[in-house]
Amino acid sequence: MAGSQDRVVCDDLRLERFDHFPGALIDVPASELWRHLQGPSLFFLRGRQPRPLFISVLLHGNEDSGWRAIQSLLREHRKAILPRSMLLFVGNVAAAKAKVRTLPHQEDYNRAWPGTLNPDSRSLAGRHRRDRSAGNAFRKHRYPQ
């Protein structure tokens, strides 16, 4: 997948962005995603209704039921358009590889967003408060309407 023109890496978040769901991922177990994704990734999937639904999976590497549910949904719609557009966030790929909740150097992804009770942490929330990098990354890489 390296060098693919359909993805953008947002350096300040280390977030890959895809404008589709690569077919190769449809049967990949969560623990093997590291072979296909460099880390946290955001997929824009078009649907009949353009306003996207945001879904997050693998915020914890050892909780893969959401990933399996998304794979099942996308298998069902493999040859048809989704009823609604979707922004799919695939979170902790590195912890999924190790089959653990988080790695020792990581913060809990459920606590790493703006609005957290610990805004001075090294998390995305702390960075957002200091330099707005989280918001800037999403503004720089807008999804189609």
Contact 60, 102 (CB under 8 A): yes
Dmax over CA atoms of the chain, in Å, equals 46
pLDDT per residue as tens, the chain (145 positions)? 444 445 444 444 578 999 999 999 999 999 999 999 999 999 999 999 999 999 999 999 999 999 999 999 999 999 899 999 999 999 999 999 999 998 888 777 776 666 666 555 554 544 444 334 444 444 444 555 5
Q: What is the strand order of the sheet 7-10 is part of?
A: 7-10, 15-18, 41-45, 82-90, 47-57
The helix or strand, by DSSP H or E, that contains position 17, with its residue range, turns out to be strand 15-18
Beta bridge partners of 91: none
Contact 116, 125 (CB under 8 A): yes
Domain boundaries, the chain: 7-105
Tell me how far apart the alpha carbons of residues 28 and 41 are, in angstroms, rounded to a whole number: 15
pLDDT of residue 12: 46
Provide the 8-state DSSP code for 3. T
pLDDT of residue 120: 52
CB atoms within 10 A of CB 125: 21
Tell me how far apart the alpha carbons of residues 12 and 54 are, in angstroms, rounded to a whole number: 21
Beta strands in 35-133 (DSSP E): 41-45, 47-57, 82-90
Contact 83, 91 (CB under 8 A): no
